[in-house]
Structure 1
Amino acid sequence: MAMRWEAFLDHVQERGQYAGPREAERAARTVLALLGAHLVGDVRAELAARLPETFALILLNPLQAAEPLSPERFVRATAAWIEGASEQTAAWDVSAVLSVTAEAAGDELTRRILLQLPPGYDLLFGHPEPG
C-alpha cells in the first residue's frame, strides 16, 4: 500500500525540520531522482509501488548516474541539485528523505535496497547495519 503524498511530505518536513512542505518536496524530489539511478529491477518497482505516485514516477525516471555513488558523493550530488544547499544541509536532506522512504518500504524491502547500494547507505536510511 503506497504512503499518501501528505503523509510522506509531513514526515520528511518533520524529520528535516523544514519551514514548509515546499522545502520538503524539493528535497524528496532530488533525493529520490538520484536514488532511482542506483536501483534496478523488482526492488525499484516495489519501492515505487509504496511511494506516492509523483515520487514513484521520479524514482522510475531518475537522473542518470554514470556509476553508483558512494554515500559521500550521493550527498555531494544532492547538494549540487538543490539551490543554496551545502554538504551539511544536503546530508540532512538525504537522511530525512531516505529514512521516510525506508519507513514506506518496510524492513524487508529496505534490506534489499541496501544490497543494491554501495556500503554506507544504511546510515543514510537510518538503518545502521549491526557492525
Structure 2
Amino acid sequence: MTLRWEAFLDRVQERGEYDTAEEAERAARVVLALLGAHLVGQVRAELAARLPEALALVLLNPLQAAEPLTPDRFVRATAAWIEGATEQTAPWDIGAVLSIVADAAGDQLMDRILFQLPPGYDLLFGRPPASHRP
C-alpha cells in the first residue's frame, strides 16, 4: 500500500509535533536521503514503491555515503542537514519519519531493511532491538 503525499506528511507532522507541513517535509526529505544511501537493490525499490512518489525519488536518488553510518553518525548527519536541528533533537526528527516508513514497509520488508543497516537502527525506526523481539 502506497501512502499518499498528504497522508505521509500529516503523519510525520503529527508524530514529530511539527508546527508546519514544511517542517515535516524537510525532515522527511533529509532522513530519506540519508536512509537511501544505505539501502540497495530490491529492498530500496520495494520501500520506494510504498512511499509517496516525491519521497520515493528522494530515497532512490540519495546522498552518497562513503561508508555505512552507525546510528550515532546517522543522527549527527541528520542534525547537520536539518536547519535548526541539534544532535539532541535529530533523533526526534528521525523517529517521526522512520516510524511512518516502518508502518508503510510492514514487518517482512522492515526485517530486510534492518538486515542491510548497521546494528542499532531498529531503535531509529521505533522498533525494539532484534534481541528483544519475541
Name the TM tier (shorter chain).
over 0.9
Amino acid at match of 1:33: A
Aligned to 1:106, what secondary structure does the other structure show? helix
1:79-118 superposed matches below 5 A: 79-118=79-118
Determine the C-alpha separation between the residues in 2 that align with 1:130 and 1:24. 31
Amino acid at match of 2:125: F
| Superposition deviation, residue 2 in structure 1 | 1.0
Determine the C-alpha separation between the residues in 1 that align with 2:122 and 2:73. 15
Q: Give the structure 1 partner of residue 30 of structure 2.
A: 30
**Among the aligned pairs, what percent are the same residue?**
77
| Superposition deviation, residue 84 in structure 1 | 1.4
1:1-131 superposed matches below 5 A: 1-128=1-128, 129-131=130-132
Determine the C-alpha separation between the residues in 2 that align with 1:110 and 1:6. 23
Root-mean-square deviation (CA, aligned residues, Å) is 0.7
Cα deviations across residues 81-123 of structure 1 (Å, max 9, x unaligned)? 1111101111100111000000011111011100000000000
| Superposition deviation, residue 34 in structure 1 | 0.3
TM-score, length basis structure 2: 0.95
Determine the C-alpha separation between the residues in 2 that align with 1:127 and 1:91. 14
Q: How many residues are matched? A: 131
Q: Structure 2, unaligned stretches of length 5 or more? A: none
TM-score, length basis structure 1: 0.97
Determine the C-alpha separation between the residues in 2 that align with 1:90 and 1:123. 13
Q: Structure 1, unaligned stretches of length 5 or more? A: none
Aligned structure 1 segments of 4 or more residues deviating by more than 4 angstroms: none
